């Protein structure tokens, strides 16, 4: 169960930026999967600045599934190495691009079970998986991914407006929790602005799995491919990513041990 799902219930709290930052700071081999049902190619047009051919990604897997070929092998052929912040390929982080058309997610209803199984195979082989699910629709994330997950993080900012949106969409959280035996918790962005992680956890009766620093300028390096400010790698934002990546990787490792027992 070395799969981490990241989603949000409302708004745009920065799921993709968070997922990408965690992948780049992950302490083990990791695959970042763009499974946002509202396709935008945010990583390709942002962090990669359209300078890397990310391939067909998930879209290619539908054809492989129809042809009855080895889906795990087909998936791995579509994977690219993510460049690190210094521009060199990351030794541990890889990326699978997402849907190329708004109609494609609806075609994956019958394919998700096989893809989820392939992602679980990667986990068994020592590659952790982070799945960027973007904003969840009213039906919640794919049940097959939820069932295979080791942890599910619901990303939210800490202001009144995003938390009100989270409360209004509480049924989505309940749907996610009903589909998995994994830990379902919150990933906060900007705790203390104005509500603390502890206050938010108590309000929603969910654990806080990780806390992200809110720093728009530093985050723009990931979201838009902006030049990194001096000392980016040693700043609070990057340090927060490394701490959260280590914590979440440990959570997945514990989940995998429990399954093995």
Give the DSSP per-residue string, 135-190. E--TT-S-HHHHHH-SEEEEEEESSHHHHHHHHHTHHHHHHHHHT-SSEEEEEEES
Q: Indicate the DSSP class of residue 31.
A: E
CATH number at residue 69: 3.40.50.300
C-alpha to C-alpha distance for 257 and 223, rounded to whole angstroms: 34
Strand-pair category, 3-8 with 30-34: unpaired
Report whether pLDDT(239) > 60: yes
Whether 67 contacts 130, CB under 8 Å: no
Predicted pLDDT at 61: 87
Domain count, the chain: 1
| Percent of the chain residues past pLDDT 70, beyond the cut | 95
Q: What is the mean pLDDT of residues 183-210?
A: 95
Phi–psi pair at 12, nearest 5 degrees: -135, 75
Q: How far is CA 92 from the centre of its chain?
A: 16
More confident residue, 10 or 200: 200
State the residue range of the domain holding 50.
3-260
* Angle ∠(109,73,113) on CA atoms, nearest 5: 20
Residue 26: phi and psi, rounded to 5, are -65, 140
- Total count of residues recorded for the chain: 261
Residue 64 has pLDDT above 90, yes or no: no
């Amino acid at each position: 169960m070395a799969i981490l799902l990241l989603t949000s219930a409302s708004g745009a709290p920065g799921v993709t930026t968070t997922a990408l930052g965690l992948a780049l700071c992950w302490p083990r081999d990791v695959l970042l999967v763009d499974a946002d049902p509202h396709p935008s190619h945010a990583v390709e047009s942002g962090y990669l600045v359209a300078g890397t051919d990310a391939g067909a990604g998930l879209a290619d897997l539908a054809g492989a599934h129809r042809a009855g070929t080895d889906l795990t092998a087909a998936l791995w052929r579509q994977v690219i190495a993510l460049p690190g912040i210094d521009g060199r390929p990351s030794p541990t982080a890889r990326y699978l691009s997402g849907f190329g058309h708004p109609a494609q997610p609806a075609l994956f209803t019958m394919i998700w079970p096989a893809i989820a199984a392939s992602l679980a195979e990667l986990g068994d082989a020592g590659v952790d998986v982070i799945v960027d699910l973007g904003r969840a629709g009213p039906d919640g994330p794919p049940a097959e991914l939820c069932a295979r997950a080791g942890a599910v993080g619901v990303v939210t900012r800490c202001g009144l407006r995003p938390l009100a949106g989270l409360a209004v969409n509480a049924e989505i959280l309940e749907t996610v929790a009903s589909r998995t035996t994994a830990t379902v918790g919150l990933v906060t962005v900007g705790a203390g602005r104005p509500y603390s992680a502890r206050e938010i956890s108590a309000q929603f009766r969910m654990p806080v799995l990780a806390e992200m620093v809110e720093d728009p300028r530093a985050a723009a390096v990931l979201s838009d491919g902006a030049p990194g400010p001096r000392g980016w790698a040693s700043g609070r934002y990057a340090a927060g990513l490394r701490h959260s990546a280590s914590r979440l990787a440990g959570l997945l490792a514990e989940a995998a041990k429990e399954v093995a027992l």
